Amino acid sequence: MKIAILGGDGFVGWPTALHLSDAGHDIHILDNLSRRWIDTELGVQSLTPMDSIQERTRIWHAETGRRIHFNLIDLARDYDLLKNWLADHRPDAIVHFAEQRAAPYSMKSDRHKNYTVNNNVNATHNLLNALVELELDAHLVHLGTMGVYGYSTVGAAIPEGYLPVGIETMAGQTVSQEILYPSNPGSIYHMTKCLDQLLFQFYAKNDGLRITDLHQGIVWGTHTEQTRRHAQLINRFDYDGDYGTVLNRFLIQAAIGYPLTVHGTGGQTRAFIHIQDSVRCIELALTNAPARGSRVEIFNQMTETHRVRDLAEMIAAVSGSQIAWLPNPRKEAAENDLVVHNEKFLALGLNPTRLRDGLLSEIVDVAKKFAYRVDRARVPAVSAWTRDIAARLDRDPEGKRLKSVS
């Protein structure tokens, strides 16, 4: 297939582009490289050294003989450029990663909230609008988040997208209906993914677009089969308080002798998936497209769930690290359960990579190799959900800040 990968320079986008190119597909990356500019804004860099997208694709071609094409397009602002590219290339499928992906970044300030909404929602709607106007029957696969469901405890397993409900009619009868599982976003970022859901439902119903929405858990890991082939193909790896995901952050903290930062009680239960499984799930979704006129296909893209404190205690036990129990910058329940259905991908042949499979040591090895690139001042999570919470945060978990003499 000819596949457009929107946001293909990112944390999941880049290994997906390599994986699908390796499988023989014709890959075209569309990206505005905003994630690299955000690094500059935040004053932090990927733990792993990243070359330019042009150099990355050159190395891939040198190693494999296969080309990955790059197009500099801002999907949220350059509608005509996007539309013209789609008209010229008419891809068979589109994988949509082109959204600001960090909940803490989306809550930093009013400017960051506005940017996240404008970028994420406009990018999605511009894409859907262009597909309709061009009468382009491309299968759209979107990377969403488990966070659209929220993390409250309801005592029932979360289904894959749709919830069967009974509605009482005026005649007193009960009729059955399937609805989208009620959204409960925990941040501006998660809210934009909820808005994506509604846009997808409308365009699938109104215009017959073929759409698959992947509600993904937290991604952990560094390498995929393809990124291991050359040092310059390595994936980005974030450790900072805004973009670093919890498990990767714990492992880096362990590798550099930094306290494992657990916020609140650590009773937050989260869903996880390894980066290799993430790219494999996207491939499975692409090869199992819904029929035109079908409702949006929804998969829960995760393989296991864990409480944050359990992860910290597991890593502390094997690394000898200390745990720092810190105030929570997020406005969320102190404890939650999370039981999730994920049978669809398992039925399609996914063989999940689990935490127990020994890949944690691989991340620690990568962290130790590039530890010289870590700015310890960027490790704490200090983007607060409200002003009241901001006043209570601990910005110095190591206790190294100079104190005045009195």
Catalytic residue among 83, 113, 193, 344: 193
Integer Cα distance of 49 and 53 in angstroms? 12
Integer Cα distance of 228 and 251 in angstroms? 20
48 catalytically annotated: no
Catalytic residue among 105, 115, 149, 189: 189
Q: What token pair was written down for 270?
A: 């989260």
Nearest to 42 by CA among 103, 86, 108, 89: 108
CA distances from 337 to 100, 236, 268, 326 (A): 27, 31, 8, 21
Helix (H) or strand (E) holding 17: helix 13-22
Whether 383 contacts 108, CB under 8 Å: yes
Point out which residues pair with 143 in neighbouring strands.
Answer: 214
145 catalytically annotated: yes
The vertex-122 CA angle with 117 and 125, nearest 5°, equals 130
**DSSP states along 344-403:** HHHHTT-----GGGSTHHHHHHHHHHTGGG--GGG-S----SSHHHHTT--S-TT--S--
The tokens 């409702």 sit on which residue?
Answer: 295
Integer Cα distance of 388 and 393 in angstroms? 10
Whether 2 contacts 91, CB under 8 Å: yes
Integer Cα distance of 247 and 310 in angstroms? 11
Q: State the amino acid at position 342 in one-letter form.
A: N
Catalytic residue among 116, 145, 227, 353: 145
Give the pairing type, strands 211-216 and 139-145: parallel
151 catalytically annotated: no
Other beta carbons less than 10 A from residue 361's beta carbon: 10
Residues that are catalytic: 145, 189, 193
